[in-house]
Amino acid sequence: MRLRPGYEVYWRGPGSTQIGVDPRCAVVLDDLSDAEQQLLAELPQMMDVDWLQARGNELGMRPAQVRRLQRRLARAGVLVDLPVAAATGPDDQYWRLAHVAGAKRPRDRSRAVVEICRADPIGLRTGLLLAQAGVGAIVVNDPGPVLATDVVAGPYRGDDVGEPRQRAALGLLRAVAPHLRTSVPTGTSPDVLLLVDHHVVDPVPVRRLRRERRPHLSVLATEVAVRVGPMVTPGGACTTCLEHYRREKDDRWPAVAAQAALRPPAAVETSLVWWGAVAASQQLLAQVDGRAVATRSATLELTGWQEVPTRTSWSPHPDCECSSAHRRRARPPSRSSAAA
Given this model, what pLDDT does residue 267 score? 84
Boundary-marking domain end, from 81, 100, 119? 100
User: Would you place residue 325 in the very low, low, confident or very high pLDDT band (cuts 50, 70, 90)?
Assistant: very low
165 and 192 belong to one structural domain: yes
Number of domains within the chain = 2
168 and 87 belong to one structural domain: no
236 and 315 belong to one structural domain: yes
Given this model, what pLDDT does residue 338 score? 57
Judge contact between 240 and 320, C-beta under 8 A: yes
Judge contact between 222 and 199, C-beta under 8 A: yes
Q: What proportion of the chain, given as a percentage, has pLDDT over 70? A: 93
User: Would you place residue 265 in the very low, low, confident or very high pLDDT band (cuts 50, 70, 90)?
Assistant: confident
62 and 118 belong to one structural domain: no
User: Would you place residue 314 in the very low, low, confident or very high pLDDT band (cuts 50, 70, 90)?
Assistant: very high
Short-list 202, 222, 201, 219, CA closest to 266: 222
Range of the domain at 302: 109-337
User: Would you place residue 335 in the very low, low, confident or very high pLDDT band (cuts 50, 70, 90)?
Assistant: low
Does the pLDDT value for residue 83 go beyond 80? Answer: no
Does the pLDDT value for residue 332 go beyond 80? Answer: no
Given this model, what pLDDT does residue 13 score? 97
- Averaged pLDDT score across all residues of the chain: 90
174 and 228 belong to one structural domain: yes
Burial (CB < 10 A; 0-12, 13-18, 19+), residue 64, is exposed
Cis peptide before 254 (omega within 30 of 0): no
43 and 124 belong to one structural domain: no
10 and 151 belong to one structural domain: no
User: Would you place residue 87 in the very low, low, confident or very high pLDDT band (cuts 50, 70, 90)?
Assistant: low
51 and 172 belong to one structural domain: no
Average pLDDT, stretch 325-339?
A: 53
The kind and range of the H/E element at 33 are none
Does the pLDDT value for residue 252 go beyond 50? Answer: yes
238 and 136 belong to one structural domain: yes
Burial of 178-190, coded b for 16+ CB within 10 Å and e otherwise, reads: eebebeeeeeeeb
Of residues 336 and 114, more confidently modeled? 114
Boundary-marking domain end, from 52, 75, 100? 100
Average pLDDT, stretch 178-187?
A: 87
Does the pLDDT value for residue 308 go beyond 50? Answer: yes
Residue 60 belongs to domain with CATH number:
3.90.930
DSSP for 46-74?
A: --SHHHHHHHHHHTT--HHHHHHHHHHHH
122 and 221 belong to one structural domain: yes
Does the pLDDT value for residue 256 go beyond 60? Answer: yes
Given this model, what pLDDT does residue 88 score? 66
Residue 310 belongs to domain with CATH number:
3.40.50.720
Q: What proportion of the chain, given as a percentage, has pLDDT over 90? A: 71
Given this model, what pLDDT does residue 92 score? 83
DSSP for 110-126?
A: GG-EEEEE--SHHHHHH
Which tens digit of pLDDT belongs to each residue from 37-52? 999 999 998 878 889 9
75 and 176 belong to one structural domain: no
Rounded distance, CA 306 to CA 149, Å? 25
Does the pLDDT value for residue 323 go beyond 70? Answer: no
Given this model, what pLDDT does residue 86 score? 54
**Of 10-24, 86-100, 182-196, minimum mean pLDDT range:** 86-100
- R_g of the chain, CA atoms, integer Å: 25
**Whole-model pTM?**
0.86
Does the pLDDT value for residue 4 go beyond 50? Answer: yes
Average pLDDT, stretch 79-91?
A: 70
Does the pLDDT value for residue 104 go beyond 90? Answer: no
User: Would you place residue 322 in the very low, low, confident or very high pLDDT band (cuts 50, 70, 90)?
Assistant: confident
User: Would you place residue 329 in the very low, low, confident or very high pLDDT band (cuts 50, 70, 90)?
Assistant: very low
Given this model, what pLDDT does residue 328 score? 46
Does the pLDDT value for residue 324 go beyond 60? Answer: no
Rounded distance, CA 135 to CA 144, Å? 24
Boundary-marking domain end, from 78, 100, 122? 100
219 and 244 belong to one structural domain: yes
